[in-house]
Amino acid sequence: MFEGTEGLAPAPRTLIVTSRMRDLLGPLGGQAVVNEIRRFELFTDGRVATVPLQRPDLVIERATLIRGLAQQAEASGSRILLGRRFMSLEPTSRALTFTVVRGQGGALEEERARTVIGADGAFSQVACAAGWPGQSAVPLAQAVVGQPKDLRPDTTRVWFAPEETPYFYWLIPESPDRGVVGLIGEDGQATRQCLERFLERRGLEPLEFQGARIPLYTGWVPIHRQVGGGYVYLVGDAAAHVKVTTVGGIVTGFRGALGVAEAVLNGGSSHHFRVLRRELDLHLLIRRVLHQFTQREYSRLLDLLTIPAQRSLGSYTRDEAYKLLWRLCLGQPRLLLLGLRSLLTNGSFPRRRD
């Protein structure tokens, strides 16, 4: 395993994931958990809806998770070579030759492998070298703040403000005295400004800021291709395995990793990929609807979240989109009509760049 940084010291970032992460990672996933969320409070235009969760969401520290994964990889026999930045990929008749640079401006090193897996993020150089098209990405901005006194530590708040972002604001408790406030935007500078104004309106003082660029899933792209006599796979953000409803990619990234492992063992085919593609495509459809919502439609959405509908939302996780949507539409058919009306009116969404 080749890692570009000189030391395994990833930047801290607080994230929220579904309980599916524990199902996938077992005890390793538990090491990164700093809090559990048992309900959501949804706000828009003075309206509020509360969604209790049957299985709690997990608040995790990304840096802790990465270090734990590295330790487990090494314990399983993998070698992690730090300070090796990917440079280029050359096909040969029987394998692949790839070049890494050691350190800042250091010597070039050549390696050979039959299979190369690109897990190098939204702007994957491995993907570029193997001929995949570039992908779109959106800015994430969030601030660490003191926990508001009126917020329970097991409750996450979400605000829909479509005039400021087509996504949403969130406040995730990290501990009884700290939380993170953030949003996804479409322009980096404007997103940071929106966050600062939101903090000021809420009377929250930022202790530090965090940020990232998150890839957008805009349609399935095969993540396996033959290059010369070798094979290249993409996984995680490099493959845009991100739920665009919430722009979350931890659980879907691990599901993609299972697919890559299965495909390597089975000559390219994987049941995990078929299931993951179906899930991501449904999230894309939902995002195309939500991306067009106005304040009026968000207000209507919360009005339709009756007690039975709120229970349905809490019965399944965001990583079970088909079950969740089916249960929700059965209990409140007018939600389906609201979504169809918005989709038919103007269901566009940014497409993948060529």
Q: Is the dihedral of CA 277, 279, 285, 288 positive or negative?
A: negative
Task: Please say whether the beta carbons of 343 and 289 come within 8 A.
Answer: yes
Residue range(s) defining the domain that contains residue 50:
1-344
CATH number at residue 27: 3.50.50.60
**For the chain, how far is it from start to end, CA to CA, in angstroms?**
29
Q: Is residue 352 part of a domain?
A: no
pLDDT in tens, the chain (354 residues): 999 888 888 888 889 999 999 999 988 888 899 999 999 999 999 899 999 999 999 999 999 999 999 999 999 999 999 999 999 999 988 899 999 998 777 789 999 999 999 999 999 999 999 999 999 999 999 999 999 989 999 999 999 999 999 999 999 999 889 999 999 998 888 999 999 999 999 999 999 999 999 999 999 988 899 999 999 999 999 999 999 999 999 999 999 999 999 999 988 788 899 999 999 999 998 898 888 888 988 998 888 888 887 887 788 888 887 777 766 666 666 665 566 565 456 555 554 443
Q: What phi-psi label fits residue 182: left (phi over 0), alpha (psi between -120 and 50 degrees) or beta? A: beta
Alpha-carbon separation of residue 312 from 23, 50, 54 (angstroms)? 21, 12, 10
**What is the signed CA dihedral for 336, 341, 346, 351, rounded to 10 degrees?**
10
Q: Is residue 21 part of a domain?
A: yes
If one counts every other C-beta atom within 10 angstroms of the C-beta of residue 131, the result is: 10
Separation CA 160–CA 170 (nearest Å): 9
Q: Is residue 133 part of a domain?
A: yes
> For the chain, what is the domain count?
1
Q: Is residue 351 part of a domain?
A: no
Q: Is residue 123 part of a domain?
A: yes
Sequence-distant (6+) residues with CB within 8 A of 354 are 133, 134
Q: Is residue 353 part of a domain?
A: no
